[in-house]
Structures are given as structure tokens and as C-alpha cells.
A and B are shown apart, each in its own frame.
Chain A
Amino acid sequence: LTKSHILVSGIKGTVAEFCKNIVLAGVGSVTLMDDSLVNEEALNANFLIPPDENAYRGKTVAEICCDSLKDFNPMVLVSVEKGDLSARSTEFFEKFDVVVIGYGSLATKKAVNEKCRKLSKRVAFYTVDCRDSCGEIFVDLQDYKYTKKKLEEKVECELNFPSYQEAVSVPWKPIPRRTAKLYFAMRVIEVFEENEGRKHGQCSLLDLPTVLEIKKKLCEANTVSESHVPDSLLERLITGTIEFPPACAIVGGILAQEVIKAVSGKGEPLKNFFYYDAQDGKGVMENISNSFTS
């Protein structure tokens, strides 16, 4: 744990919580990437940014958060990396043991995941996205060996994780009915933001018709009925663009637990999606891969 290097890109409320947690736990280093400037919106659920305009004027979110995080645990090296994550070479990621992409675009998530998988060193890959009072975590640990406690003994286990590309392209029809609707809803939103060139949260009620169109097309392509993805859920996700602080605490906490487990190699990891929805209060793990079709 104390020798682990974590790369974190995209810092909003949930990721701020996550960073706080791993810094307190005592990871080796945390590298922050987020070149957006501090503005009013960033102040909302991000408690790492002091609301003093003089302090944050002109600085990037990553820079401000870096200073705050260092305070929590002086033993952890917190630094900032500027630039575009998706433009980085494969070798760049070799420095890290864990890569966490917050609020990333579909293209970025796929590209970075691919690069991580190309390396001979196993780099743990996570994505996290929170909207309204919902959250999604994705985990890719490739071929992962770990130990877990069964009664009084330690047991060696192995798990095989699908890539991000595979996990989001799984045909919908064979996926069990009781799977969290958020999985499907997030895929629709992903496609919408990709098509329209939007960043996370750059949407509103006005976009609903477009989003519903995309949903319709996806459902048709997957030969499932449109009721597969509730319209009300989609509406919530595109109107509730600000994160809900309690949901940030919850999702950020779960993500931190997962990263800490993965880095120490102890304990059963989450495989491979986690969904939280404050409306029903459930936090569920969904295992989604191409194995459904076989």
C-alpha cells in the first residue's frame, strides 16, 4: 500500500472523496490530472477547495486539491500532471499501479484502458461517474490473483476481468432482467455525450429528446424493448448534473476500498460494476461480460 502509485483524472465531488480516503489510508503517491479551472460549480461537492477566491483564482482544480490533500497525510506524495489524459502514451501509465478515470468520455476510457492492458505490468483500471444521486464504478483488474479469508484459512483465488471495451459492448438481450437499470442508462448517456461532444454534466432537460432517440436506437440494435431503460432514470441523469454530496461520500468510499484491496492483493474485489442509487438506497455489484452470450 505504501508503495503504490495512483493516477487520478477528473476531480469532482466523488473523486475528491476518493482521494481523501486513499491519502488517509497511506498510499505511496497520488498524481492528479484535472486542468479545469476552479469555478463556482467545482466548489459544490468538493470540500478540498477552500472558497477563497484569492486562493484559487487562476489555478486548476488539480493544483488546489493537491495542496489540500497533502495536508491529510504528509507521508503521501501528491503531485499534479498537466495535459490531456487520452493523449498520453502507453509508457506513461507504466509508472502507476492504479489508474482512476473520473467522469471520462467513452473514447478516453476505452483508450486508456487499452493502453493499461498493453503493458506487461498489471495496472488496475477504474472508472467512476456520479450524476444526480447515482453512481457507477467500473473495475478492470485483468487477470487477478488474490487471497481471501475463508473461515480461519487463507485461500488463493483468481479472477478474470473483461476490458472496458468488452464490458460496455456486451449485447443487452442476454443480460439478466434484474440487472441494475443504471448500467443501461449510463451506456445511453455515454453515447449521447460522445456523439454531441459534451463533457460530463454538460446537458439539460432540453437534451432529453436526443437522449431518448439514442435510447431507442440502442434498444432496437440490441433487440430489447424500450422499457428496458426507464425514461425517468434518463431524465434524472441529464437534469441532475450536480453530484449529491452524500452519494459522493458513499461512492468515493466504495471506490477507495476497492483500490486499497487491489493494491494489497487481499480480499475479494468487486467485479466488475458497482451501482448506487440514493432513491432506492441500494448499492449493487453487477458482473457484466460476454460470458452471458456463451
Chain B
Amino acid sequence: MDTQQQQQQSSIQGAKVLMVGAGGIGCELLKTLALSGFQDIHIGAKVLMVGAGGIGCELLKTLALSGFQDIHIIDMDTIEVSNLNRQFLFRRSHVGQSKAKVARDAVLRFRPHINIRSYHANVKNPEFDVDFFKQFDVVLNGLDNLDARRHVNRLCLAADVPLVESGTTGFLGQVTVHVKGKTECYECQTKPAPKTYPVCTITSTPTKFVHCIVWAKDLLFAKLFGDKNQDNDLNVRANNAASSSKETEDVFERAEDEDIDQYGRKIYDHVFGYNIEAALSNEETWKNRRRPRPIYSKEVLPESMSQQNGSTQNCSATDDDSTVSAMPLLGLKNPQELWGLTQNSLVFIEALKLFFAKRKKEIGHLTFDKDDQLAVEFVTAAANIRAESFGIPLHSLFEAKGIAGNIVHAVATTNAIVAGLIVIEAIKVLKKDADKYRMTYCLEHPSRKMLLMPVEPFEPNPACYVCSKTPLVLEINTQKSKLRDLVDKIVTAKLGMNLPLIMHGASLLYEVGDDLDDIMVANYNANLEKSLSELPSPVINGSILTVEDLQQELSCKINVKHREEFDEEKEPEGMVLSGWTQSPATNGESASTSNDENEKAVDVTESSSGPEMASKKRRLSETQPENDKKETENVESDDDELMEIENPVMVSKKKKRVE
């Protein structure tokens, strides 16, 4: 302990303190550091932030306030209206600008003398290679997708730079520390693919039904029935295409005695017809995507609905507001039935009419509630029509309700808390205070009194194919499966490689890169279409493939085993990749290592408890990491506001076990 302390002391004394500005703030800062034990080690540190969204804004602010002087920040996104209620460094006037740049400018306003460098780019770009990462003392992630996180993890390992990872989902949050050789890397434990939806996917390029639900619920429903003063991305898109913004503002406003049916059709035509046509006019967007088709009410619905199926005035006057429903009026009884475009359109118009006819008082204050039958009907119909437009399979009311109810919204305060936790870990990392590194979980409900729960990090997983060198096993039908399948399903999706290279022995089967000549490219393209056993260097049972990504400096060996049959339901991809086991800490597989790790976890969380608690402690900490990890496995990301919790019932059950 003594030598360690001595080492720390000398590293602090020897540290070059770079202070820019010795005026008001400078003096105060120096006093602050001296008084409260802020070690000045972190002032000279060079920090890389990846992500300038929900977590990023809070993090940049806290880093700056904490005395960091040299911060670089990468983010490829531009600011959208829906970001403004959380990402407090941005204003309306910034919509459309680079997040990284605006965040930088905003923070410089209250800390003008620090150095912040912003990059409006994708962190996966080749310019951010290992040498780029090597210049930093620590990397802090505030990302919203698994892909980018894995990529950054690999680069940090290759550059041997510590990484502090984080994620939030609603009220849940977590911060984890990853130091090569000392702790698990980000990929030592397999993460389930989380479901997050970037805002532009919702507003412009949906590919799944859930994207349509989110659009119908959070944009259209909110726009028509929710708080009028709330900003809404539905507006912004329309404005982009409209010739006069006043025109589009008025579309959603209903005039005093405007016929409800007409109003409904007007809205229908605007969002499913006009907006789609406007989106189509941007060629770039649709280069590699399926073009949506505009749908207009007149093609789908009969001339006037009021004559068709009994107007809403025929509704009994004693109808309870809460049981008002469009389905019975249209003869639709079964919520599990799949409606076609016409039926969905009828429900859309009818539900809209019912809101205005029967629940007028609530309009302007409504929020979607999955127990509100009429709201669910409206959202289902709207989502289905949009799905039809984009060629996405339609869903029944029952299914739509389930999806709509599972969506969790980002909570701004969780981001602020997580940002604080990140900075605390970053400072520990810079001080090389290895004993103090913690994974910190931010819980919604206290677990053993704790809302913020620190746990010691686990040791690296010796079977992790990313940070150790374990070979993998691939079971595949080498005669039927093509190289393309291997590349798409295994190399890109499962292994998360960005610019892969596949070799069989000395033979290069496939690679991606800018510097390839035409002959090579043609050769690789030809290889993609061949089955594995037909390749120039045949890949058969027992072959060993080497798969690499030079940018990530990751190399994997894959042992190929031929298998004839695959279960269509359980193994729909027609191939199975295995070989890396779960970290022993969660499985309890290896008795000795797991006990050691459990001991450590126990020390941290129950430091002041007496010996009588020993047996209980062990059990708790055994279940704890698994539960926390399962619970927080969903805590992958926040930023793009909307996240689906995999299985909410499971999560709450597990929480109970921990308590």
C-alpha cells in the first residue's frame, strides 16, 4: 500500500499541470483542487468523448466543471427538435447543426479557456484508427447503439486506453470501467441486441412495425391530441417540404365548425399522402431503400363516411367517455384480427371523429395510455397505414397494443446522474486507482437501501474472443451456405466487424477496403456467391478461417464444422457460432474464480456489516451480478429517446430476487 501511495504521490507531483488562465477561475480552481483533494492529475489529461447526445451533453458539462482541460468529442448526428427537452446545450436555433460542434460552443461559453475539439463524423471512420485512440488518456462513451460500442471497445483494447462505458434506459443507468488486462472488456459478457430507434428512422425511414407504432403514438397522436405547445418532429419534416410554413401549421389545426369527417381526411391525406410525396422528393434517402408509396383517402375510402356506417351522432348519449370505441361502430369485434388497409383507414377516421365528438375536452391534454381503447385503436390504425405505405407487415390491434405499451422513454435526470458517475470513474482511471474502479448501477427502486450501487469490476473473461484469443466454432452447411451468408450473419452481425478480412490459410477469400483494385473486388464478389466448399480454397469440415478487422485490430480464428440440417425455428440462420462462454462470474461455473469475485463484490457493498451477515452476503452477491447484469443488460442506450424493454415482467421479477 505504501509504495502504491508513494507512486501516486510522485505521479501527482511529477505531473505537468497545464492551467490555461490564472485569473478568476484559475485561482479558484487551484484553491479548489488544493482544498478538496482534487488531484491535479486530470487537468493535463486528454479525454475522448464518443457521443454528444443525452449522456454526452451532461458529460461534457460535468467534465468542464470538474477541471478537465483537453476534451475531444465525436458525434455524427445533427440536432433534432425532439432532443431539446433533454440535451440542454442545444436550442431551437441549433436544429440541423452538428451536435458535437454545438455542444462544444455551448460549454466554451461558461469555460472559455479549455480546449474542446469536435468531430462531426462516425466513430467507425478509418480516420479514428488505433493511433488516434492512443493519444488519449481515457475514452468515455455516451453512445446509443451496440455496434459502435463494440467498435470503440476493440479500438481501446488495441490502443490500450481505458474505456468508461455507460447506458441509460428510463430510470435505470449504469457506468462500467474497462481496462485492458485488469477488468473485463465491454464484450466479455455477451450483450443482447437492444432495441433502439434513431429519430430519423421514426420520422422518415421506418423498416419495422415498431417504428410505425412510435411514429403513430409519439408524433401523430401527440400532435393531434396532446399538448399543442410541445415541439414535434412531425412539424419540422412537413415544414421542410412545404412552401409556406403557415400552410402546414394550419393543417393540424381544426377550424371551429370544420366537418370532422373532412378534417379526418385532410389529416389522413397530409400524413400518408403529402408527407410521403415530400419525402420521396429527396432522392438520396431512397437510393438503397424501398420507396414508400403515398396513400390518399379517396383511393381507400368511400366518398362520405357519415352515410356509410352511421355517423357518430347515432351513438347513444349515455355512452361513457372511457368506453367510446370505433371498432363496434365498424363491425370489428376481434382485436386479434388483422385489418386490411381499408379497415385500418376506416378505424383511423372513425377514431379521430370520436375523439372530437365525445372527448373534445381532453384534446390538447391527452397522453397515450395503452389502457385507453380509443387511443389504442387510433394508434394501431395509423401505424398500420404507415406500415402499408412502407411495405411493412401489418399487425392486429392486440399486437400493436403490446408493442405500444412496452416502450420506455428516456429520462433526462438519469443522464445527468450517469454523467456524474462517469467523471468520477474517469478520475479514478487517470489516477490509476485500480482498487477503486467500480461498475455503478443506478436503480429505479432501492435495492438494500441503495439507489446507486457500486460493484467491483470483474476480471477479464479468459474465453472472450475479443480480449483473449479463444477460437470460435462455426457449425454450418459448407455445401449450401454461401460466403455471403457467413459475412453478413457472422462476421458483420455477430462479430461486429466493420472492415473485415477473411482468410483460409494463405488464401484471401474476402476483404473490404478502399485500396482494392477492380480485379480483386470482382474476385471477392464472385467468392461471395459461392458456397463455402466451392471457394477457390475450399472451406470444409475441419477448416480453420481467420477473420480480422485491421482497424479494430481484432483477429479471430473460426473452426468450421460441417452440419447437414438446422432446425428452422431454433436455428433460423442455418448456422451456429459458439465457443465463447459466459464470464465465469455470472455462471458460477468455475468455483474458485467465482468465489473470488463474489468475495470482492461482497466487500464493496457490505463494508460495514458484521460477520453474522456472511452467509446471506454470499448468496446475495451471487445472485446480484447476474440479476443486475440481466436487468441492466437492457440498459444499453438512451439517446434516441425510445427504447424497448425486452421483457418488462422478467425485469421486475428479477428485481424482486435481488431485494
Interface size class, chain A? 35 or more
A245 to B440, CA, bound (A): 18
Which of the residues B110, B417, B442 comes within 8 Å of A47, measured between beta carbons?
Answer: B110
- Contact flags A242-264 to B (C-beta < 8 A → 1, else 0): 10111111101110110010000
Contact present for A20 and B35 (CB under 8 Å): no
A72 to B610, CA, bound (A): 48
Contact present for B110 and A284 (CB under 8 Å): no
- Contact flags A56-86 to B (C-beta < 8 A → 1, else 0): 0000000000000001110100000000000
Contact present for A257 and B229 (CB under 8 Å): no
Q: A240-B36, A244-B36 are in contact. Are A257 and B411 (CB under 8 A)?
A: yes
Contact present for B411 and A51 (CB under 8 Å): no
Question: Smallest CB-CB separation from B28: which chain A residue?
Answer: A40
Q: A51-B112, A285-B449 are in contact. Are A245 and B62 (CB under 8 A)?
A: yes
Contact present for B66 and A40 (CB under 8 Å): no
Within 18-75 of B, Cβ neighbours of A (below 8 Å) are at 24-25, 27-29, 31-32, 35-38, 58, 61-62, 64-66
Contact present for B85 and A24 (CB under 8 Å): yes
Q: In this assembly, does A114 line the interface, its C-beta being within 8 Å of a C-beta of chain B? A: no
Contact present for A151 and B420 (CB under 8 Å): no
Please give, as numbers and ranges, the residues of chain A lying within 8 Å of B411 by CB-CB distance: 257
Contact present for B28 and A276 (CB under 8 Å): no
For chain A, what secondary structure do more than half of its interface residues adopt (helix, strand, loop), or is it mixed?
Answer: mixed
Contact present for A249 and B58 (CB under 8 Å): yes
Which of the residues A51, A71, A270 comes within 8 Å of B110, measured between beta carbons?
Answer: A51
Q: In this assembly, does B609 line the interface, its C-beta being within 8 Å of a C-beta of chain A? A: yes
Which of the residues A26, A43, A250 comes within 8 Å of B417, measured between beta carbons?
Answer: A250
Contact present for B25 and A40 (CB under 8 Å): yes
Q: In this assembly, does A152 line the interface, its C-beta being within 8 Å of a C-beta of chain B? A: yes
Within 165-217 of B, Cβ neighbours of A (below 8 Å) are at 171
Q: In this assembly, does B608 line the interface, its C-beta being within 8 Å of a C-beta of chain A? A: yes
Contact present for B88 and A283 (CB under 8 Å): no
Contact present for B416 and A249 (CB under 8 Å): yes
Contact present for A284 and B451 (CB under 8 Å): yes
Contact present for A249 and B419 (CB under 8 Å): yes
Contact present for B25 and A50 (CB under 8 Å): no
Contact present for B609 and A178 (CB under 8 Å): yes
> Could you list 30 A-B pairs, sorted by A, with CB under 8 Å?
A2-B227, A40-B25, A41-B28, A43-B25, A44-B32, A47-B61, A47-B64, A47-B65, A50-B110, A53-B24, A72-B88, A239-B35, A240-B37, A245-B62, A245-B66, A246-B66, A246-B419, A247-B424, A249-B419, A249-B423, A250-B416, A252-B416, A254-B417, A270-B451, A278-B424, A280-B604, A281-B454, A282-B450, A283-B453, A285-B450
Contact present for A281 and B66 (CB under 8 Å): no
A2 to B226, CA, bound (A): 13
With both chains docked as a complex, state the minimum distance between the C-beta of B81 and any C-beta of chain A, in angstroms.
13
Q: In this assembly, does B482 line the interface, its C-beta being within 8 Å of a C-beta of chain A? A: no
Contact present for B171 and A257 (CB under 8 Å): yes
Contact present for B420 and A242 (CB under 8 Å): no
- Contact flags B592-636 to A (C-beta < 8 A → 1, else 0): 000000000000110111100000000000000000000000000
Contact present for A73 and B35 (CB under 8 Å): no
Number of interface residues of B (CB under 8 A): 58
A252 to B446, CA, bound (A): 17
Contact present for B445 and A245 (CB under 8 Å): no
Contact present for B24 and A40 (CB under 8 Å): yes
- Contact flags A2-40 to B (C-beta < 8 A → 1, else 0): 100000000001000100110011100000000000001
Contact present for B451 and A253 (CB under 8 Å): no
Q: In this assembly, does B570 line the interface, its C-beta being within 8 Å of a C-beta of chain A? A: no
Contact present for B88 and A20 (CB under 8 Å): yes
Known: A2-B227, A278-B424, A282-B605. 5 other contacts (CB 8 A): A44-B32, A152-B649, A244-B36, A245-B65, A246-B423
- Contact flags A170-186 to B (C-beta < 8 A → 1, else 0): 00000001100000000
A242 to B610, CA, bound (A): 34
Question: Smallest CB-CB separation from B66: which chain A residue?
Answer: A245
Q: A24-B88, A178-B608 are in contact. Are A45 and B25 (CB under 8 A)?
A: no
Q: In this assembly, does B421 line the interface, its C-beta being within 8 Å of a C-beta of chain A? A: yes
A241 to B531, CA, bound (A): 70
With both chains docked as a complex, state the minimum distance between the C-beta of B63 and any C-beta of chain A, in angstroms.
9
* List of 6 A-B pairs having minimum Cβ-Cβ separation, nearest first: A283-B452, A249-B420, A281-B454, A245-B65, A253-B417, A246-B420
Please give, as numbers and ranges, the residues of chain A lying within 8 Å of B85 by CB-CB distance: 24-26, 73
Most buried by B among A239, A247, A256, A282: A282
Q: In this assembly, does B414 line the interface, its C-beta being within 8 Å of a C-beta of chain A? A: yes
Contact present for B65 and A253 (CB under 8 Å): no
A257 to B420, CA, bound (A): 15
Contact present for A246 and B421 (CB under 8 Å): yes
- Contact flags B469-505 to A (C-beta < 8 A → 1, else 0): 0000000000000000000000000000000000000
Question: Smallest CB-CB separation from B61: which chain A residue?
Answer: A47
Q: A40-B28, A247-B420, A284-B451 are in contact. Are A242 and B36 (CB under 8 A)?
A: yes
Please give, as numbers and ranges, the residues of chain A lying within 8 Å of B442 by CB-CB distance: 283
